[in-house]
């Protein structure tokens, strides 16, 4: 184990401005700029026709910038050059890449470079405070300020979206009774009106709220985790376990690579992947071997978005001696 752990202290985390075939150009940082895509050995731009927040969300997540902030039209970051590769892009918000979204045939468009689309992503997203990654008092960012949310204006559909955005499965319990301590942030003055199927709360309709909500009525939420690392005593290193059909199980190391580990580290907010140990390096798990032959590209936001053989149908040729592990760079203890 020491050889792997040494890598952690030698590794550095680098936020890339590109993710394979997508990059942002002309912004002040790697998470803002004109959207450019690589196709047929040539970088080109994307037209802003039909472009919305769901498309922006896919680009931000694909680049490891995580959270949607804003869409910038009419070549806000300057007109590009060369080909305009994509037009009429219509992402749902859950796709692993903008190339997976509905669109016109690559290269077909009726646009000029004065319509090149840009995006601004944020490194801040909603968070749960006072409990764990998947339980606590809900806080939402606006600008550089955190706000708490009033429980009186929060329902099950809102909770579904919050847990989904955090990668924490489904809501187990919505509280408003100071279970995780009173917040000291300002109270958010908008009321969420999510349908329950949105990918982020940024996509939910909102309305102004005039209620004077005390901090002992802050939204406090418990979600069911769907992914964890166990066997080492750190939330960012250990045996990979996933929750499926209400039961925790492991992942086979057959086909397990650094690209798969990168997705796990991203989903757990643990920085970059340092190693992808095999052969039950962190000890053998129990229960089902849920997944075998995971096929991540490395840019997916969650392990469940990666290709794999049918879940739970590997009893005849998978065992816990081949449980996969991950070591990430972040939050190591």
pLDDT tens per residue across span 271-286 = 899 999 999 999 999 8
In this structure, are residues 120 and 114 in contact, taking their beta carbons and an 8 Å threshold?
no
Q: Looking at residue 2, what is its pLDDT?
A: 46
Note the CATH number of domain 22-122.
3.10.250.10
Q: Tell me, yes or no, if the pTM score tops 0.75.
A: no
Alpha helices in the chain (DSSP H): 2-10, 53-62, 156-165, 258-267
Check residue 12 and give its pLDDT: 28
Confidence of residue 176 (pLDDT cuts 50, 70, 90): low
* Confidence bin at 222 (pLDDT 50/70/90): confident
R_g of the chain computed on alpha carbons? 21
Structural tokens at position 206: 């909102």
What is the average pLDDT score of the chain?
82
Q: Rounded to whole angstroms, how far apart are CA atoms 113 and 291?
A: 45
Cα 123 vs. chain centroid, distance in angstroms? 11
82 has a pLDDT exceeding 70: yes
Q: Does the domain at residues 127-223 carry the CATH identifier 3.10.250.10? A: yes
The pLDDT value given to residue 328: 93
CA distance 119 to 59: 8
Q: Counting Cβ atoms within 10 Å, is residue 163 exposed (0-12), middle (13-18) or buried (19+)? A: buried
| Residue ranges of the chain assigned to CATH 3.10.250.10 | 22-122, 127-223, 227-328
Average pLDDT over residues 4-19: 35
Tokens of 195: 């349908």
Q: Nearest-CA neighbor of 291 among 272, 330, 268, 264?
A: 264
At residue 47, does pLDDT exceed 90? yes
Q: Look at residue 134 and tell me whether its pLDDT is greater than 90.
A: no
Rounded to an integer, the average pLDDT of 303-322 is 78
Q: Where are the alpha helices (DSSP H) in 73-221?
A: 156-165
227-328 is a CATH 3.10.250.10 domain: yes
The reported pLDDT for the residue numbered 211 is: 63
- Alpha carbon distances (Å) from 272 to 130, 204, 213, 275, 276: 25, 30, 40, 9, 11
pLDDT on residue 86: 95
Could you tell me the pLDDT band of residue 177, with boundaries at 50, 70 and 90? Answer: low
pLDDT band with cut points at 50, 70 and 90 for residue 210: low
Helix %, strand %, coil % of the chain (to 5): 20, 30, 50
- Is the pLDDT score of 113 beyond 90? yes
Q: What is the mean pLDDT of residues 240-252?
A: 85
pLDDT in tens, 53-76: 888 888 988 887 766 667 788 888
- In 3D, which of 157, 223, 151 has the Cα closest to residue 187? 151
């Amino acid at each position: 184990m020491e050889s792997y752990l040494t890598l952690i202290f030698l590794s550095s985390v680098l936020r890339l401005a590109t993710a394979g075939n997508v990059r942002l150009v002309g912004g002040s940082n790697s998470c803002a700029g004109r959207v450019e895509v690589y196709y047929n050995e040539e970088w080109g731009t994307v037209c802003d026709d039909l472009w919305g927040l769901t498309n922006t969300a896919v680009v931000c997540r694909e680049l490891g910038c995580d959270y949607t902030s804003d869409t910038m039209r009419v070549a806000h970051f300057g007109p590009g050059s060369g080909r305009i590769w994509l037009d009429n892009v219509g992402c749902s918000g859950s796709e692993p890449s903008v190339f997976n979204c509905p669109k016109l045939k690559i290269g077909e468009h009726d646009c000029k470079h004065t319509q090149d689309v840009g995006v601004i992503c944020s490194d801040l997203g909603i968070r749960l405070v006072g409990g764990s990654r998947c339980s606590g008092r809900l806080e939402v960012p606006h600008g550089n300020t955190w706000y708490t949310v009033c429980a009186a204006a929060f329902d099950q559909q809102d909770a579904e979206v919050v847990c989904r955005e955090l990668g924490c499965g489904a809501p187990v319990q919505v509280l408003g009774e100071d279970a995780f301590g009173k917040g000291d942030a300002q109270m958010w003055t908008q009321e969420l009106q999510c349908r329950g199927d949105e990918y982020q709360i940024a996509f939910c309709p909102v309305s102004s709220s005039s209620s004077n909500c005390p901090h002992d009525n802050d939204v406090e939420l418990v979600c069911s985790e769907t992914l964890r690392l166990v066997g080492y005593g750190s939330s960012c290193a250990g045996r990979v376990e996933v929750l499926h059909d209400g039961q925790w199980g492991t992942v086979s190391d057959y086909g397990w690579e650094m690209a798969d580990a990168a997705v796990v580290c991203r989903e757990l907010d643990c920085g970059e992947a340092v190693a992808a140990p095999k052969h039950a390096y962190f000890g053998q798990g129990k229960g089902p071997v849920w997944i075998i032959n995971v096929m991540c590209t490395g840019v997916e936001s969650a392990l469940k978005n990666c290709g794999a053989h049918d879940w739970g149908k590997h009893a005849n040729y998978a065992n816990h001696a081949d449980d996969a592990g991950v070591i990430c760079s972040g939050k190591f203890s």
